[in-house]
Amino acid sequence: MKISILYFTKSGKTKEMAEIVAKGMKNVNNIEVGVFDINNIDENFLNESKAVVFGTPIYYANTCWQMKKWFDESRNYNLEGKIGAVFATADYIQGGAATGMLTIINHLMVKGMLVYSGGSALGQPFLHLGPVATKENYEKSKYMFEVFGERIANKVIELY
Ligand X SMILES: Cc1cc2nc3c(=O)[nH]c(=O)nc-3n(C[C@H](O)[C@H](O)[C@H](O)COP(=O)(O)O)c2cc1C
Q: Tell me which residues in 112-151 interact with ligand X (CB under 6 A).
A: none
Nearest to 95 by CA among 127, 128, 60: 60
* Cβ(66)–Cβ(8) below 8 Å: yes
1, 61, 115, 122: residue in contact with ligand X (rule CB under 6 A): 61
- Scanning 5-13, 23-31, 67-75, 115-123 for contacts with ligand X by CB under 6 A, the matching segment is 5-13
Does 12 engage in binding with ligand X (CB under 6 A)?
A: yes
58 part of the interface to ligand X, by CB under 6 A: yes
Residue nearest to ligand X (CB): 95
Q: What is the dihedral of CA 2, 62, 101, 104, to 10 degrees?
A: -50
- 81-100 binders of ligand X (CB under 6 A): 89-92, 95-96
Which residues, 6 or more positions from 108, have their beta carbon under 8 angstroms from its beta carbon? 54, 79, 84, 86, 115
In the complex with ligand X, the residue whose CB is nearer, 10 or 42, is 10
Q: How far is the CB of 134 from ligand X (least distance, A)?
A: 7
Q: Amino acid letter at 108?
A: L
Q: 119 — alpha (psi -120 to 50), left (phi > 0) or beta?
A: left
Which lies closer to ligand X via its Cβ, residue 18 or residue 153?
A: 18
Say how many residues touch ligand X, by CB under 6 A: 17
In sequence order, which ranges of the chain are alpha helices (DSSP H)? Answer: 13-26, 43-48, 65-72, 97-110, 142-159
- In the complex, the residues that contact ligand X under the rule CB under 6 A are 9-14, 57-61, 89-92, 95-96
